[in-house]
Homo-oligomer: A and B are copies of this chain.
Amino acid sequence: MLIKFYIKPRKGVLDPQGRAVSESLKSLGFSDVKDVKVGKYIEVYIENKDKEKAVEEAKEMARKALVNDLIEDYEFEIVE
């Protein structure tokens, strides 16, 4: 089974990559761009298990290794 993590800078936290991408898109002619946030997309493939357990494990992975809670927000989903 697969855990997909979507991680992005918290609101108010400086996001220089997002800013750079935003400027780049505008300079390419995408004038309707209002804001850009750049974060991480992480796929973790694990051995099949109970979905409830996988949810717990995903939270633990985020807390211990994948997400810096001070500056990042995250969501995840489990794909079977």
Contacts and interface: CB of A to CB of B under 8 A. Distances in A.
**Stoichiometry, copies per complex:** 2
Main secondary structure of the interface of A (DSSP, over half): strand
Contacts of A42: 21, 36-39
A40 B35 CA distance: 16
Nearest to A22: B44
Interface in A10-34: 21, 24-25, 28, 30, 32-34
Interface string A34-59: 11111111111111010000000100
A4 B30 CA distance: 16
Interface of A: 4, 6-8, 21, 24-25, 28, 30, 32-47, 49, 57, 60-61, 64-66
